[in-house]
Each structure stands twice: as C-alpha cells, then as structure tokens.
C-alpha cells in the first residue's frame, strides 16, 4: 500500500481548515512572501497580485520605506494607549487633516471601527447641533453597500448572506437605491442626520454612480442640513486615479472614512477626518480605542501618505488604470457582460459564476477574487509596472479566449 504525501500547499490548507473558522473561501494557494506587485507561494510559484488586499497595499507589498518606518518606531515605542500622549499622534493628525482639507482626525484601527465612529459622530452632531429629538436620528445608506462586518453595519446591508442569523439589528438606518437622487430626497426627514455613501461600491462589483451623482448628493445634503459621510476605505488614497474618489465630482464630504492603504498593509490604521464642528462633539470618555492612534500605527501611516506623494501613485493609478480599462474593453467572450473601472480599480462582470475564471487566472499566475458571484475585481498595487499589467492582460486574453 502506497501513501500519497500531501504537498506543502495541501498541508497548510488542511491545518487552516482544521483549526480556523470557515468565514472565508480563499483561493487555494498559500502565500509565503510578497514584494511590490508580486507574491510567491510556499512552493515557489510567483503571481501578480491583482487584489492588493482589497486596496490595503496600494503602495505595494513590503515597501522598504514603510518597513523602515515600522521597525524604527517599533524599536522606540509601539503602544501607550490614549491614557498617555505619544510623539507621533499629533503629526499624523496634522498630516491627514491637511491632506483632506479638514480640521480634525479621530484615529482608529480597522475600517469597520472608523465607520462606527462616523455613525456615532453623526448621531451626536444631529442631537447637539441640528436639534434632532433624542434617539430619533436616522442615517440614509444605499442598497448593495459594504461598510464592514459589525452587527450595526451588517444590520443595514441589503445582502442576505451578511445578515443571516446575526440579528436583532440596530434601528435608525434607511436604505435607498445607489445612484438614485430622487430616492434620497424622498427619504430625508427632519430626523435625518447623515447620508453614508461609498463613492464607488467596491464589494458590490465596482459599481460607479451616474456622473454628477456625488456632486448633486452633496448639494442635497447641504440644503437639508445633513452630513455627507464618504466611506473611502477602499477608494481613497489614489486607488481610483484621484486622491479620493469624491474628487472625481469635485466633492469634499463632511466626513471622510479612511483605512486600508492608510498603512500600506503593514499595520491596521483607520481614521475619521472632519470639521471641528463635527468631531468636536466628542469629549473625554465618549469614544476611544486602546490601539487607536498608537505611535507605531501613526508612524507607518505618515510614511504611507508620503510614499503616495513621492512616488506619484495617484497619477500612476490614473494613467495605468485608463490603459488597463481600454484593454479590458477589447476582451471578447460570451461570458463577459460588462467591464468598468476608474483608476486601478476595474471589474469584469460575467453572465455566469466568476469563481472558475478566478481559478483559471490563478493557474496563469494572476491573483484576483470574485465578488457578488459574477464579478471579477482587478485592483493591482499602484506600484505595478506597465510591463506587469501588459503581462496580466495577456493572461486574461488566454483565459477569455473565445
């Protein structure tokens, strides 16, 4: 009797499946190293990363400047909690606030924490500034939204899978169709404190709203004394070819919610950035986080922002993204329903399940992931070269050969 030895990949997968909760369905490769736009698995195979950890590694994997900032700060001090001050927090808040044209920053860790923070700020502003009766504030959000995985956030999701058996959910949210300004207008009441929007719905399949929608939405919010909260966790910091996706409509929201690329994939850092009138509603004891604003995260985030500027990653995203979208539009295959994108955030929508195509692309050395069943997202790091993307397009042509 012969025994078939498991490959290194199979061994790692078996251990993870045996001991880890099954809340993800990843592609069956095991990454061991990553540099720039490329990753290497435990068996030495190389792949072009076209997901970028959902835009967390816009600056590329293992950027040397971020690694240096991390290690130098880690050798000094990593965590003080907010019980004491540290020498990195003020500089980080100033850098980010000025970049956003705002007054104040409230740092957190994950994107979901930042969205929750924005919700708390909007409600308190609604009660203390707008005069909404206590516990009656409402927030308008959009169908097919994705703002995170807390019970509050999935409670106003329109995706049944995100909500199933996690209730009861928090009240106070009203859903309207994405891109429908008339529906927003109809949903606004004197109790509305905010509208929460993704400038592009990433998880929903890179859904881009009609031209001018964000600009008209901002005007509508101003007319009704309603805060506009832009969730730019995935779209911000250069991903769409502008620093913020709102910039495509020349919109400055009342609150930016940022994360992911804010730390270049090295350390969880998120933030809410707003005017003093809004974030000034918090006083000591009303909100906090042990790790939020820690010196290690702040040092890394400051360098992550500097890398975006110094390497002109916003401009790279705009130019390379336009080229990539043109190439995707030339693909001809009966399974392809539509292609769309903005900057280096592109999508191929199919008439059928996208998973087999993602697995086929993996076999060709291109890593991407399906979303909403029938959409392939393509979002390589902003440091990817023209040659990298040209090679990826050739692999796509091979997989989608008619």
User: Would you identify the CATH topology of the domain 64-310?
Assistant: 3.40.640
Residue-level pLDDT at 5: 74
Task: Take residue 9 and report the two structure tokens written for it.
Answer: 């990949």
Residue-level pLDDT at 1: 54
pLDDT digits (tens, 9 = 90+) for 328-386: 999 999 999 999 999 999 999 999 999 999 999 999 999 999 999 999 999 999 999 99
pLDDT digits (tens, 9 = 90+) for 297-338: 999 999 999 999 999 999 999 999 999 999 999 999 999 999
Answer yes or no: 94 catalytic.
no
Determine which one of 41, 49, 142, 146 is catalytic. Answer: 146
Task: Take residue 35 and report the two structure tokens written for it.
Answer: 């540099």
Contact yes or no for 62/28 (Cβ under 8 A): no
Residue-level pLDDT at 327: 98
Q: Give domain limits for the chain.
A: 8-62+312-399, 64-310
Answer yes or no: 400 catalytic.
no
User: Which residues, 6 or more positions from 246, have their beta carbon under 8 angstroms from its beta carbon?
Assistant: 199, 214, 230, 232, 252, 253
Closest CA to 181 of 214, 230, 132: 214
pLDDT digits (tens, 9 = 90+) for 25-62: 999 999 999 999 999 999 999 999 999 999 999 999 99
Residue-level pLDDT at 202: 97
Determine which one of 41, 244, 260, 388 is catalytic. Answer: 260
Task: Please give the mean pLDDT across all residues of the chain.
Answer: 97
pLDDT digits (tens, 9 = 90+) for 189-223: 999 999 999 999 999 999 999 999 999 999 999 99
Determine which one of 49, 231, 254, 388 is catalytic. Answer: 231
Residue 84 scores a pLDDT above 90: yes
| Enclosing H/E stretch for 279 | helix 276-279
pLDDT digits (tens, 9 = 90+) for 116-173: 999 999 999 999 999 999 999 999 999 999 999 999 999 999 999 999 999 999 999 9
Q: How far apart are CA 304 and CA 297, in angstroms?
A: 10
Residue where the block lists tokens 């290194």:
8
> What does each C-alpha distance from 171 to 124, 196, 298 come to in angstroms?
15, 15, 34
Answer yes or no: 388 catalytic.
no
Break the chain down into helix, strand, coil percent, rounded to 5. 40, 20, 45
pTM of the model: 0.97
Please compute the mean of the pLDDT values over residues 253-258 and round it to a whole number.
98
Contact yes or no for 274/255 (Cβ under 8 A): yes
Tell me the percentage of the chain whose pLDDT exceeds 70.
Answer: 99
Contact yes or no for 147/178 (Cβ under 8 A): no
pLDDT digits (tens, 9 = 90+) for 99-115: 999 999 999 999 999 99
Tell whether domain 8-62+312-399 is in CATH 3.40.50.920: no
> What does each C-alpha distance from 365 to 62, 104, 189, 293 come to in angstroms?
20, 43, 51, 38
Residue 176 scores a pLDDT above 90: yes
| Distance linking the first and last C-alpha atoms of the chain | 45
pLDDT digits (tens, 9 = 90+) for 260-274: 999 999 999 999 999
Closest CA to 275 of 94, 104, 90, 92: 104
Residue 291 scores a pLDDT above 60: yes
The confidence band for 237, taking pLDDT boundaries of 50, 70 and 90, is very high
Residue-level pLDDT at 6: 86
Task: Take residue 288 and report the two structure tokens written for it.
Answer: 């906090």
Q: How far apart are CA 156 and CA 141, in angstroms?
A: 8
Q: How far apart are CA 66 and CA 73, in angstroms?
A: 11
């Amino acid at each position: 009797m012969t025994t078939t030895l498991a490959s290194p990949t199979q061994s790692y997968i078996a251990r993870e499946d045996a001991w880890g909760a099954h809340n993800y369905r990843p592609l069956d490769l095991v990454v061991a190293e990553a540099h720039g736009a490329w990753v290497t698995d435990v068996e030495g195979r190389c792949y072009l990363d076209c997901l970028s950890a959902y835009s967390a590694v816009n600056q590329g994997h293992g950027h040397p400047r971020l690694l240096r900032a991390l290690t130098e700060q880690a050798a000094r001090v990593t965590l003080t909690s907010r019980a004491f001050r540290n020498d990195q927090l003020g500089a980080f808040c100033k850098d980010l606030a000025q970049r956003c044209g705002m007054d104040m920053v409230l740092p957190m860790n994950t994107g979901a924490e930042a969205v929750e923070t924005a919700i708390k700020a909007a409600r308190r502003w609604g009660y203390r500034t707008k005069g909404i009766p206590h516990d009656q504030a409402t927030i308008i959000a959009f169908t097919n939204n994705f703002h995170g995985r807390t019970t509050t956030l999935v409670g106003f999701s329109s995706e049944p899978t995100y909500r199933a058996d996690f209730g009861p959910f928090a009240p106070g949210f009203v859903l309207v169709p994405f891109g429908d300004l008339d529906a927003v207008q109809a949903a606004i009441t004197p109790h509305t404190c905010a509208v929460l929007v993704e400038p592009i719905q990433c998880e929903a399949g890179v859904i881009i709203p009609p031209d001018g929608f964000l600009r008209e939405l901002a005007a509508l919010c101003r007319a009704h004394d309603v805060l506009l909260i832009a969730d730019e966790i995935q779209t911000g910091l250069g991903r769409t070819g502008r620093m913020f996706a709102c910039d495509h409509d020349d919109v400055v929201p009342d609150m930016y919610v940022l994360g992911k690329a804010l730390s270049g994939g090295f350390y969880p850092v998120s933030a809410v950035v707003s005017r003093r009138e809004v974030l000034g509603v918090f006083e000591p004891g009303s909100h906090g986080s042990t790790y939020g604003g820690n010196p290690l995260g702040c040092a890394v985030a400051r360098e992550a922002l500097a890398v975006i500027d110094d390497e002109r990653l916003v401009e790279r995203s705009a130019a390379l993204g336009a080229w990539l979208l043109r190439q995707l539009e030339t693909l001809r295959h009966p399974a392809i329903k539509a292609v769309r994108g903005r900057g280096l955030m592109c999508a191929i929508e199919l008439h059928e399940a996208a998973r087999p195509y993602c697995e086929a692309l993996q076999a060709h050395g291109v890593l991407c992931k399906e979303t909403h069943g029938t959409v392939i997202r393509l979002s390589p790091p902003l440091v990817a070269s023209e040659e990298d993307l040209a090679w990826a397009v050739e692999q796509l042509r091979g997989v989608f050969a008619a």
